[in-house]
Chains A and B, each alone.
Chain A
């Protein structure tokens, strides 16, 4: 397994010895690991979200807890996959963490393989998410080129409506619709209404609702 783009895995645990051992373990897989003694330290270092492969996060910490950090990250819109670690079999905390999008929840003591698998999955999820984001952003960038009228026309075309109906819906002539359609195809570089629909869905899965 190769961590995509060689982004580091961030380990956040207040127990120095355990933190060091996690780093040592993850590094033995050839992964890059960054260690932080607390959630605050992590936020202070403030790596760009895109540059974190995943977080390995102790759920109980003296100041800001793991769950609180998860909240902060969500509020900031950072969708970093998180593997939670806890010393207590805390089902309630686990449910809460998973509800808020945690990848995994490991209870100490755990087998090293379990952690490695979990981190691997998280890293992969992160990569996929990042790739999805990249595609979405690219599509959005193409669509952003369209004028508002062209966007309206593009949406109706993507829904598979003929020019005549589009013109009637937008109260414009069929000919004008045809011109807009030509511009849309040129600006986005798609060849058909189906391709246009796929592009729009990639940018926004709810675009055609």
Chain B
């Protein structure tokens, strides 16, 4: 094998194009060379399993047998060869069995011949690997390898690694994890021997028959698990596999393939240094690759999470980052939604509670206002009650005195008893009115005639006062005018207005102690105007009049008008204070309050029937 030595310095990555073309051959006219290309790609194992020089006989043979072609032989590395074959730059390939199996699946390569190196090795069983250890090593068999360092040429090497891997796999040993280290020394393969010598590895892998090129190998090394392979001249630790094939590609013309096959089959060991045999069965290689889940069977490999993570870690990391981001986003959104929902719910509850409070407060305030009106009227009410009570007391005491004085006549008893009963009734009546007015109640709407309401309020007002002023009522309403209101609430508003009017005019001369109420309509609204001729209102006071707790009275709470206005608004109406128009008697003295309320619209059918009586 002088070729091995010659190619030792070649570098694996190098793509070497041999200029072994027809041009290099003397005596061949260039015109012929350009006729048809015949390109052969050879896996350049760079001086290991096959050397460049070894293939020159092949080229020579073809040039001789097929003179009409421009012959080219290109040495390419593993990937380069595949790329060239894919690109249609090659017509034939010569490569190792492992690579061939890959190309068979990937590019439809089809073997037509198998290399026959001779020397006792049949093409079907020509390749194997030995695992060697230094002579003194305690290791005896492949099973002893776990935990030790193994020197190999390359993980892609067929004879340099994959065959041994297959054997270890059969033993249940996964080299990547079980071995302490898998040391790739690169080409040339003798580097493995150097690594063992240098102590950088505990065991090494060599292609079979390479070991035997070292004459003193048996003194220095020992073979692990040597196999007895009948008719195989070298030591091997593995099964044997077929030798390199020569294969066509899809586009290779069949007649050319046949011609090439016939030409090459004619080569002889003695004459050419190598020979070709009919294609061997590469099933064993397929089985090996399937077992190892590599090459065309790589898809079988159930990738472990670790492997995936190692291979795709930037993607995995990115994806994980995205996932984390998405989770964070989702969690945040969910949290926000929950927070907002809770806040919303709380706000709603708060609002409901507030509305309930407000309703309560409103009712309370109305109640207070009624009590406040009562309080303000209480002096008068006390006087009112005092009258019948004092009268009753007088009659009763008088009867006793008359009895003492012997002046008690039957007529006097009758008179006194009748008066007492009458006055008791009067007192009860006053109390009843107050109680009805002060009672807390919930709102209820009813349809009433405005005039009726105003009359009631005026009567109530006058009934509460000892010296109520004259209340003039001027009605200018279309017949059948109705409003739908809470009777007591509107009465309360009117009572408040009357009370205010009275308070404002009490200090005035008697003829100005007068209150005028006018009822009219304005579009779809009822207007009740209450006019007095009292002290009147400052413009500033008129503006603040309806604010709560604003009062011009020394003993007022300042609730009356603000509540009156909210009552008016609750009825869809308005309460306002306006500058009074000049009156014939007192100019524009006094104040004018206007309560406007929406008119009650009777159901249309009712109105129509009323307005359009049937014609006879």
Q: Which of A1-58 contact B (CB under 8 A)?
A: 14-15, 17-18, 20-22, 24-25, 27-30
- Of all chain A residues, the one with the shortest Cβ separation from B513 is A62
CB contacts (< 8 Å) of A179 on chain B: these are none
Q: Are B394 and A15 in contact (CB under 8 A)?
A: no
Q: Are A17 and B397 in contact (CB under 8 A)?
A: no
**Interface segment out of the listed B65-73, B131-139, B384-392, B428-436:** B384-392
Which size bracket describes the interface of A in this complex?
20 to 34
> Among B399, B402, B423, which residue has its beta carbon within 8 angstroms of that of A17?
B423
> Among B386, B398, B401, B467, which residue has its beta carbon within 8 angstroms of that of A109?
B386
In the complex, how many residue pairs between chain A and chain B have their CB atoms under 8 Å apart?
81
- The answer to whether the Cβ of A88 comes within 8 Å of any Cβ in the partner chain is yes
Main secondary structure of the interface of B (DSSP, over half): helix
**Mask of B420-445 contacts with A, CB within 8 angstroms, 1/0:** 00110010000000000000000000
CB contacts (< 8 Å) of A110 on chain B: these are 390
- B499 to chain A minimum Cβ distance, whole angstroms, is 17
- The answer to whether the Cβ of B466 comes within 8 Å of any Cβ in the partner chain is yes
Number of chain B residues close to chain A: CB under 8 A: 30
| A100, B171: Cα distance in complex, Å | 140
| A20, B412: Cα distance in complex, Å | 12
| Known contacts A25-B397, A28-B405, A18 near B510 by CB under 8 Å | no
Residue among B398, B399, B422 with the highest chain A CB neighbour number at 10 A: B398
Q: Which of B140-171 contact A (CB under 8 A)?
A: none
Q: Are B398 and A25 in contact (CB under 8 A)?
A: yes
- The answer to whether the Cβ of A91 comes within 8 Å of any Cβ in the partner chain is no
| A112, B383: Cα distance in complex, Å | 18
| Known contacts A17-B419, A17-B422, A30 near B387 by CB under 8 Å | no
Residue among A21, A25, A112 with the highest chain B CB neighbour number at 10 A: A21
| A63, B382: Cα distance in complex, Å | 21
Q: Are B395 and A24 in contact (CB under 8 A)?
A: yes
- A92 to chain B minimum Cβ distance, whole angstroms, is 14
CB contacts (< 8 Å) of B466 on chain A: these are 15, 60, 87
- A186 to chain B minimum Cβ distance, whole angstroms, is 52
**Mask of B320-362 contacts with A, CB within 8 angstroms, 1/0:** 0000000000000000000000000000000000000000000
- The answer to whether the Cβ of B415 comes within 8 Å of any Cβ in the partner chain is yes
- The answer to whether the Cβ of B602 comes within 8 Å of any Cβ in the partner chain is no
- The answer to whether the Cβ of B407 comes within 8 Å of any Cβ in the partner chain is yes
Q: Are A18 and B415 in contact (CB under 8 A)?
A: no
- The answer to whether the Cβ of A76 comes within 8 Å of any Cβ in the partner chain is no
Chain B residues in contact with chain A, CB under 8 A?
A: 379, 382-383, 386-395, 397-399, 401-402, 405, 407, 412, 415-416, 419, 422-423, 426, 466-467, 510
12 pairs, A vs B, C-beta closer than 8 Å = A15-B466, A17-B387, A18-B387, A21-B394, A21-B423, A25-B394, A30-B405, A60-B467, A61-B467, A88-B379, A108-B387, A113-B397
4 further interface pairs, Cβ-Cβ under 8 Å (given A88-B382, A112-B393): A17-B388, A17-B419, A28-B405, A109-B390
